[in-house]
Structure 1
């Protein structure tokens, strides 16, 4: 705090204050930001860092070792590294040194349901870094523009990024232009995944024909198809039914989107992906119904990635019945948070490998925005927070509880995501040559979550008051110490766009499967002409 006060008086230009749309910056003060062109030799700048004495954890092994970082890259990993002068020493004795988290599912500065998410790239990323996540993959949403224009718009939004990021692309329609532009996205812009919504009728929802065309195009490009799996037609009918019954509050949101509709859409998407013979990524798996469909498909050999999100793992739907609208509305997301038994089953599936990657679906709106649906739950902007809380909650609920090992923790929060999106081992590993995106977690420290102390611009938090063990005490992003001793120091504009190449390991051997299929058809049949 002393240094921050000194900077505030001597260098006011270094402490940037920014606003989101019409929201006052005074209501959402930004702390711990350094200017992008600062020449101060501080933790906001890259340098030489030696992490000593910690237990280095990767997805498949752990060892007590030192980690030496120089110019944003991990240079050496081994015990008892010796270095010269002008190296910052960080003592990690008794703590875990792990790859920074990668969040595969975020929505920053996204236009949705008549408003815009309250977290933009700098604020959402600052929250991520404070929680131990050092890269995220956001979704480009082409609203009334083509894919190229949408991509350019999101790149502009991300100019002030404070950590590395990548993009998925949402597909909302199908024609030859979309097909051509998908190729441009993959080959020129570094996007290797496309998302299809099976819900939100009248908005971004697509039909089965569009989904099949999209799956086929994804396969040809080596891009991963992703689905939001809910039966949108049935959801629309469910919403009408709830309104006709006079159920207009947040509980109507959950009641109109039962788990059977998530299970049906998941099964349909899986079968269509199998028909095309292409990998499929199911985002925010929230129910036993959807999880069981994924488990069956994986058992049969199909290449399916299942992504639970933190809210679905640890929260339950009872909050949606809270008598206070503001409290209940903050839990509205889609698919909805469900009964506790769903979360427990999803945790077990994550531990067993049926589900592989933990995301957040961080999509934040403040209480004023949520109040748009005060009299009609259909107008409540859907979304919850999680980008800052994910790493802590997963450690406490999965590792501290004994459900998974520390190496599994690295796998589900970082490494598997890097592999699926084809950026491993640049990301998701503590190894020589990898980017210096690292966290130091103290398993004996405790955390407490609060909307007062979190770094998101949202004025609410769905994990309010939650406590647990296992705290990220240091975050290093791109070789910079950006989170230490509860202080955040980041540089706007320092985050890099990470291009993600096509044809990840999920596509290995698909051509052989196709060849076997063609050989098994026994067709076309050669027939002789009928005698005249």
Structure 2
């Protein structure tokens, strides 16, 4: 059995910061011991990794990705192969992607299709949520079996009428089913019916540029849908996880529910923390690069999101990674913003951007690890196998250099997309080495992993629920 020792670094988890060496055996963390002690000095190893002056952190868990997702007549540019490789470059060692039920088909057919896309192709470990596109008696019954088999979260949409949209009755039925089987309902909370009216009106008035994508997807319509989802979950006795929260009023709805003791949770994404409607308004159709839903908001919303992360009103930062190339995909919407594929690339940037938030004083080091590693692992039934460095955990470990500067750019990133949403942004901190189950994937800034190393991971129930 191979043994690896990571020595000399500052081990940072969601709960502790300790100068410790880490012993890895058989793909799992075997022990931690204070650096320089006789215990640590006595460990023999096949491989030693010097982390002096570096952080030793759990591999990131990105609980919201869309590899190869079909949307608007095209599909997300990253495959499971390219997307998980890019994730590893950015210090993420587990993704949870979304399998999609096709209307008129079973949940199992959708899940099987995503296994075909992913199995044998991933550089890091992966799991699946299930998108419920067709809530009916059969799919409700299937939810029970999927939960028992390790697919324990189900996403519904209040947006995209005619594609993914579920009405309040369908949402209530799915929530009632989840309240019985232990599943977690994830909600895209925007009032899609009202948004479609505003889209139609904007296009009729000649407002076709990308910036109008943000104008029609009103803050009030995100807040209203968030409130409605919370009340439906309250009636059903179901927990609720609101995805990609972008607006201050939506944060306030989640905070109010949590203050009442309701099992309501929220996620935001780096694009809402670092980008804004200023990007959507960039000239010459450049704003199309930043079209996503929920949309980017005016910059003043960012402080509410940071405060929500500090106060635990929001528990997770995921990417909603759904990349479309500017040339040949985003430009499908020239002259009609409603035809621009919705989504941004970001799976490679999340850990670095959140470390920059530590540097900038928005969050602490331990909170960085909580919202990027431990929190998503707990939320989606992967902890303590994932999201921490402790005996028995998978040896998904990142050696992170907190002092090295880098500039984010499409010229140097590894996502299979022709632009960076953060082009030219200077970041302090960089991934140096990444282990996935003890196996090197990134080593001193070079990719040494291989396609097919990543394993499918069935999940347990949300660990924030008693």
TM-score by length of 2: 0.96
Q: Which residue matches 1:75?
A: 30
In structure 1, C-alpha distance between the alignment counterparts of 2:281 and 2:228, rounded to whole Å: 31
Residues 1:265 and 2:228 aligned together: no
2:15 to 56, 60, 63: 60
Residues 1:177 and 2:143 aligned together: no
Q: Deviations over 1:309-329 (max 9, x none)?
A: 01011101111112121x211
In structure 1, C-alpha distance between the alignment counterparts of 2:346 and 2:99, rounded to whole Å: 19
User: SS of 1:490's equivalent?
Assistant: coil
1:438 to 397, 407, 410: 397
In structure 1, C-alpha distance between the alignment counterparts of 2:33 and 2:147, rounded to whole Å: 37
User: SS of 1:330's equivalent?
Assistant: helix
In structure 1, C-alpha distance between the alignment counterparts of 2:45 and 2:359, rounded to whole Å: 37
How far the C-alpha of 1:47 sits from its partner, in A, is: 3.9
User: SS of 1:505's equivalent?
Assistant: coil
In structure 2, C-alpha distance between the alignment counterparts of 1:442 and 1:506, rounded to whole Å: 31
User: SS of 2:49's equivalent?
Assistant: strand
In structure 1, C-alpha distance between the alignment counterparts of 2:266 and 2:205, rounded to whole Å: 35
Residues 1:507 and 2:465 aligned together: yes
Q: Which residue matches 2:47?
A: 88
Q: Deviations over 1:388-429 (max 9, x none)?
A: 0000001102x1112222111111111011111122111111
User: SS of 2:271's equivalent?
Assistant: helix
Q: Deviations over 1:159-185 (max 9, x none)?
A: 211110111001112211101211121
User: SS of 2:317's equivalent?
Assistant: coil
Contact map agreement 2:402 2:430 (CA 8 A) in 1: yes
Q: Which residue matches 1:406?
A: 365
Contact map agreement 2:102 2:134 (CA 8 A) in 1: no
2:442 to 462, 483, 492: 483
Q: How many correspondences in the alignment?
A: 459
When Rg is computed on C-alpha atoms for both structures, the one with the higher figure is 1
1:458 to 388, 404, 417: 417
How far the C-alpha of 1:344 sits from its partner, in A, is: 2.2
Contact map agreement 1:239 1:378 (CA 8 A) in 2: yes
Structure 2 alignment gaps of length 5 or more: none
How far the C-alpha of 1:307 sits from its partner, in A, is: 0.1
How far the C-alpha of 1:193 sits from its partner, in A, is: 0.3
How far the C-alpha of 1:86 sits from its partner, in A, is: 5.4
Q: Which residue matches 1:529?
A: none
Q: Deviations over 1:17-54 (max 9, x none)?
A: xxxxxxxxxxxxxxxxxxxxxxxxxxxxx942210011
In structure 2, C-alpha distance between the alignment counterparts of 1:254 and 1:396, rounded to whole Å: 26
How far the C-alpha of 1:84 sits from its partner, in A, is: 6.2
In structure 2, C-alpha distance between the alignment counterparts of 1:284 and 1:176, rounded to whole Å: 29
In structure 2, C-alpha distance between the alignment counterparts of 1:51 and 1:148, rounded to whole Å: 42
Contact map agreement 1:248 1:375 (CA 8 A) in 2: yes
User: SS of 1:268's equivalent?
Assistant: helix
In structure 2, C-alpha distance between the alignment counterparts of 1:263 and 1:180, rounded to whole Å: 31
Residues 1:147 and 2:107 aligned together: yes
In structure 2, C-alpha distance between the alignment counterparts of 1:284 and 1:220, rounded to whole Å: 26
How far the C-alpha of 1:500 sits from its partner, in A, is: 0.7
User: SS of 1:238's equivalent?
Assistant: helix
Residues 1:202 and 2:157 aligned together: no
1:163 to 87, 104, 124: 124
In structure 2, C-alpha distance between the alignment counterparts of 1:152 and 1:175, rounded to whole Å: 19
1:394 to 341, 354, 367: 354
Residues 1:133 and 2:92 aligned together: yes
In structure 2, C-alpha distance between the alignment counterparts of 1:48 and 1:492, rounded to whole Å: 23
Q: Which residue matches 2:386?
A: 427
Residues 1:221 and 2:181 aligned together: yes
In structure 1, C-alpha distance between the alignment counterparts of 2:191 and 2:131, rounded to whole Å: 18
Contact map agreement 1:197 1:206 (CA 8 A) in 2: yes
Q: Deviations over 1:319-347 (max 9, x none)?
A: 1112121x211100001001001122211
Contact map agreement 1:279 1:506 (CA 8 A) in 2: no
In structure 2, C-alpha distance between the alignment counterparts of 1:161 and 1:132, rounded to whole Å: 15
User: SS of 2:329's equivalent?
Assistant: helix
Q: Deviations over 1:336-370 (max 9, x none)?
A: 00100112221121112111110100000111111
In structure 2, C-alpha distance between the alignment counterparts of 1:84 and 1:281, rounded to whole Å: 43
In structure 2, C-alpha distance between the alignment counterparts of 1:467 and 1:221, rounded to whole Å: 46
Residues 1:311 and 2:266 aligned together: no
In structure 1, C-alpha distance between the alignment counterparts of 2:247 and 2:183, rounded to whole Å: 26
Q: Which residue matches 2:295?
A: 336
TM-score by length of 1: 0.85
1:120 to 54, 79, 88: 79
Q: Which residue matches 1:51?
A: 6
Q: Deviations over 1:411-461 (max 9, x none)?
A: 111101111112211111100110000111121111211101101000011
Q: Which residue matches 1:191?
A: 151
Residues 1:469 and 2:428 aligned together: yes
How far the C-alpha of 1:112 sits from its partner, in A, is: 1.2
Q: Which residue matches 2:214?
A: 254
